[in-house]
Structure 1
């Protein structure tokens, strides 16, 4: 690997996926929810964090709202 690279001679293209890059956060989830997604992810053969991200993204895109009523 070189110490420096000269990109001035290359026809560089801006990353088209830069707008959708993931952002690392800390989130607290209950153990029941984590186990649910871990089991489902294992059945599907994907990492559970990818499954949770996909589910939340689907909710956001479809503007799904939680029907929650407090007693």
Structure 2
């Protein structure tokens, strides 16, 4: 191993463009959670575990948004009853 390296003639590698509507992030996930997603992709015969995680998060958000709306309606009804 050299003490110093000469990078004066070095060239930057290609930057992979990110598709529109996607954002590259770094996230820390528990090992067992990541293993579970990787196993699901493997059982399905291949694919991308990151896409599976994105799909799971989207489904969670859509499910939560619906139940949040129901909760908000219930609370508003209760508050209106108490106010009248």
TM-score normalised by structure 1 residue count: 0.56
Matching of residues 17-56 of structure 1 within 5 Å? 21-44=21-44, 45-56=46-57
Alignment partners' CA distance in 2, 1:24 and 1:61: 22
Find the residue that maps to 1:63 and give its secondary structure. helix
Larger Rg: 2
1:63 Cα deviation after fit: 1.2
The unaligned stretches of length 5 or more in structure 1 are 1-17, 66-71
The unaligned stretches of length 5 or more in structure 2 are 1-19, 68-84
Find the residue that maps to 1:54 and give its secondary structure. helix
Aligned length: 46
Deviations 1:4-58 (A, max 9, x none): xxxxxxxxxxxxxx5xx11111110011111010000111222111101100011
Q: How well do the aligned residues superpose, as a CA RMSD in angstroms?
A: 1.9
